Amino acid sequence: MTASPRILMLSQRNLAPVISRCTSYELEDVVCAVDAVDFVAPAYRDLGIKIIQPFEILQLIVNRLGERTAAVRRLNPGIRSSRAQGRYDLFFSICQFVTDLPALNALQGWRECSRTAACWIEEIWARDIPRMRSQLALLRQFDYLFVGCRGSVEPLQEATGRPCVYLPPGVDCLRFVPGQLAPPRVIDVYAMGRRHPDTHAALLEWARGGGHFYLHDTFRGNVAVGSPAAHRDMLAGLIKRTRYFLANRAKVDVPGETEGQQEVGFRFFEGAAAGVVMIGEPPNVASFSENFDWPDAVVRLPLGSTEIGALIDELERQPERVARIRRDNVANALRRHDWVYRWNQVLEVVGLEPTAAARNRQARLAALAGAGSSGASPGGVRNSAESLGLTL
């Protein structure tokens, strides 16, 4: 609790403490650092049974039923209940999926005590919207909806009758950006999460043949994490020690789940902030071009290509180009993609002013990016390789 909170925030972090959601929890942490927030993070009721939480199964049942009827929209899937107290300018809930929405039913009075209510949905695909009856009913309680998938904005607005705004992913730049004493980049290639099997096989062969360090996930599934913040610290440390980073459009390996809808994933924002050279096939959509509009933001490589080793060897023969890519990536992330900019976008839409703490964070980001340098070019905020006082 803060002295005079104006934001009431509902978090899923105790309901789903898993690796894929740590980006959302990072956003929550930044918001709590720059604004006056009452933070509510409910948990499932504890039955003392050392097996899979039965209430997680109940939540799945509630959501499946909700695809057919709106009658279950008030059910609480086994979450500890609480009641909101006081008066707030804004209620804000961050959901990875719309299936998180039943958690609202565990916080009584949230709508009545908030002048305005907004929800940010990290991932929602247009093809799924028509069958979400109970979830759509829950969404209609909000005044504004923020959506992490640009292609879903119009369909969701039409289905809910609520204003929907595209909110791109972001990153905690103060965590990910290399400092003046940046660690050496000892990881040659890092492939985090989804990857194409042919490119992966080519990288394994390239690493064995040349003595390179290729870092990649060796586990499957959305594993639990003990501390989201500690996980993000570790991830930032790894990417800051990486030379080349694979980044492709969201859900690139499961086109059946998106039906051709292309979206910008988190990897681009994390890679840019950490100053790596990103390699991959970005989405061919305006939302990518608008957010990554500087040369070589991503070095293009067709999905599934086995020529990645040759491409990296070619880049290694161009040290000036590589240095420019890294510095341009960091500068643009600092000026455009920190979470504070996303939060300020939310505040602008709902009619609130940024706090002094938010303005101070922006000033710190601008200072790191080399505010007032002459490296800017048309089409976006860009910095030359000489304009940043950072070791990359």
Give tens-digit pLDDT for 327-358. 999 999 999 999 999 999 999 999 999 999 99
Contact 248, 271 (CB under 8 A): no
* Residues making up the chain, counted from first to last: 392
Distance of alpha carbon 288 from alpha carbon 272, whole angstroms: 13
Nearest Cα neighbor of 99 from 59, 130, 152, 68 is 59
With a cut of 60, say whether residue 390 has pLDDT above it: no
Contact 169, 148 (CB under 8 A): yes
Nearest Cα neighbor of 98 from 143, 161, 140, 158 is 140
pLDDT tens digits, one per residue of 34-82: 999 999 999 988 755 544 454 456 566 666 665 655 555 667 778 899 9
Q: Among 115-129, 219-233, 310-324, where is mean pLDDT lowest?
A: 219-233
pLDDT for res 343 = 98
With a cut of 50, say whether residue 381 has pLDDT above it: no
Largest CA-CA distance found in the chain, in angstroms, rounded: 64
pLDDT for res 222 = 86
Q: Sketch the domain layout of the chain as residue ranges.
A: 7-166, 173-334
Nearest Cα neighbor of 340 from 146, 92, 179, 171 is 171
pLDDT tier, 382 (very low <50, low <70, confident <90, very high otherwise): very low
pLDDT tier, 392 (very low <50, low <70, confident <90, very high otherwise): low
Q: Which DSSP letter does residue 249 get?
A: S
Token code pair at residue 112: 């009545």
Q: Is 224 helix (H, G, I), strand (E, B) or coil?
A: strand
Q: Give the residue with greater pLDDT, 379 vs 28.
A: 28
With a cut of 60, say whether residue 87 has pLDDT above it: yes
With a cut of 60, say whether residue 376 has pLDDT above it: no
User: In one letter, which amino acid is 298?
Assistant: V
Nearest Cα neighbor of 287 from 379, 132, 168 is 168
Which residue in the block uniquely carries the two structure tokens 């706090």? 355
Task: Say how far residue 66 (Cα) sits from the centre of its chain.
Answer: 26
Distance of alpha carbon 37 from alpha carbon 9, whole angstroms: 7
- Options 3.40.50, 3.30.70, 2.40.50, 2.40.160; CATH for 7-166 is 3.40.50
- Greatest mean pLDDT among 54-63, 157-166, 218-227, 256-265: 157-166
Task: Say how far residue 70 (Cα) sits from the centre of its chain.
Answer: 29
Distance of alpha carbon 302 from alpha carbon 283, whole angstroms: 11
Token code pair at residue 173: 């730049």
The burial class, CB within 10 Å (0-12 / 13-18 / 19+), for 303 is middle
pLDDT for res 371 = 45
pLDDT tens digits, one per residue of 168-182: 999 999 999 998 777
Q: What percent of the chain has pLDDT over 70?
A: 86
Model-level pTM greater than 0.75?
Answer: yes
pLDDT for res 380 = 42
pLDDT tens digits, one per residue of 89-98: 999 999 999 9
Distance of alpha carbon 361 from alpha carbon 364, whole angstroms: 5
Distance of alpha carbon 362 from alpha carbon 339, whole angstroms: 10
Superfamily (CATH H level) for 173-334: Glycogen Phosphorylase B; (3.40.50.2000)
Contacts of 128 (CB under 8 A, 6+ apart): none
Q: Is 8 helix (H, G, I), strand (E, B) or coil?
A: strand
Beta strands of the chain (E only): which ranges? Answer: 7-10, 37-40, 82-83, 88-95, 107-108, 114-121, 144-147, 164-166, 187-191, 214-216, 242-246, 277-280, 299-300
Mean pLDDT of the chain: 88
pLDDT for res 69 = 56
With a cut of 80, say whether residue 3 has pLDDT above it: no
Q: Is 113 helix (H, G, I), strand (E, B) or coil?
A: coil
Q: What is the mean pLDDT of residues 129-146?
A: 91
Contact 334, 365 (CB under 8 A): yes
